[in-house]
Amino acid sequence: QNTKMVNQILISSGMVALCEALLYAHKAGLDETQVIQAVSTGAAGSWSLSNYGPRIVARNFEPGFMVKHYIKDLGIALDEAKAMGLSLPGLAQAQQLYLAIQAQGGAEKGTQALMLALESLNGITRE
């Protein structure tokens, strides 16, 4: 159970970074697909970038893992961290962003739908 929580914590912060980076690329007028190709082979490369990045660019928010289940896992991780006396502000922030997606009707979307919450937060509307 604790190893699963480590995994979920890693993914949560990584997904925030991935979506923020792609949102930045979009706003800067860059070709997001080319950006993914350029940075995926260096230190910024990750499974999430290579697999979720193209889905985000294609506006494909179909689930591999649903937001509603991820929120549950993030809640468990936060509860366990609290019991250990740990403060994990990045995890707490990620949970809040996923709760925003759920509030916008995205509970059954994939975790990459985090992009939708960040777009909404920044007043960005995309097709």
Q: Catalytic amino acids?
A: 4
Rounded to whole angstroms, how far apart are CA atoms 29 and 9?
A: 31
Look at residues 63, 66, 64, 73 and name the one whose alpha carbon lies nearest to residue 1: 73
Rounded-to-integer distance, Cα 89 and Cα 23, Å = 22
Q: SS3 of 107, please?
A: coil
The residue whose two tokens read 């961290």 is 81
